[in-house]
Amino acid sequence: MAWCTWCFGARYKEESHVPLKELPQVLLDSNKLGTDCVLVKNGKRVCGTGAVLANAPIAQNKAYFEVKVQCGGIWGVGLATDRCQLDVVPQGQDTNTWVLRSDGTVCHNNEVLHRIDPAPVESDIVGCSYDHVELNIFVNGKSIQFPITGIRGRVYPLFYVDDAAILDVIFTDFIYPAPEGFEQIMFEQNIL
């Protein structure tokens, strides 16, 4: 009897072991970037000239991501639909983008919505939280106190660079705590 228990126990363990499928990682999307945009560090750093979207839209209720300004220049971070022009710098010139630019302006549809002073500089961390009602921007963990509303449609994190700027994106293991209730971006299949 002991032999049968051992036999069935071992067999049961073999059959019950199901290898876990590795969950996809949110990164910069090599299929959604400007012509002269360059991705390095396994899709976590952008340089060159142009814009890039993340490989996952913001589908969950409350999402947060960050970017470190690794090297100054002309850059921006925010949200965009997949209809944005990825070869255009600076972003924020059309109805498909909402961005904080390196000069401290928050722009959408070629309109300056807000200006922060001082503007973020090299080594600063810019965070973005989005809950499908407001896009809130943070610099070094502090809110700029200007929520952007009226964002419609399926949106992705957007990053752009020019003039030797380098941005390192942070989709997990944030430098500053995400606002309460906000978390990293998840792929739609992970939300279910």
Strand, coil or helix: what is 49? strand
CB atoms within 10 A of CB 156: 21
Cα 174 from Cα 65, distance rounded (Å): 8
Q: Is the pTM of this model over 0.85?
A: yes
Cα 111 from Cα 105, distance rounded (Å): 10
**pLDDT the model gives residue 48:** 98
CA 180 to chain centre: 18
pLDDT above 80 (res 34): yes
Cα 153 from Cα 122, distance rounded (Å): 32
Q: Where are the domains of the chain?
A: 23-181
Encode pLDDT of 161-185 as tens digits: 999 999 999 999 999 999 999 999 9
The length of the chain, given as a count of residues: 192
**pLDDT the model gives residue 23:** 73
**Mean pLDDT of the chain, nearest integer:** 91
Give the model's confidence band at 79: pLDDT under 50 very low, under 70 low, under 90 confident, else very high: very high
Characterize 46-67 residue by residue with b for buried, 16 or more Cβ atoms within 10 angstroms of its Cβ, and e for exposed.
bbbbbbbbbbbbbbbebbbbbb
pLDDT, mean of residues 51-68: 97
CATH of domain 23-181: 2.60.120.920
Element (H, E) at 26: none
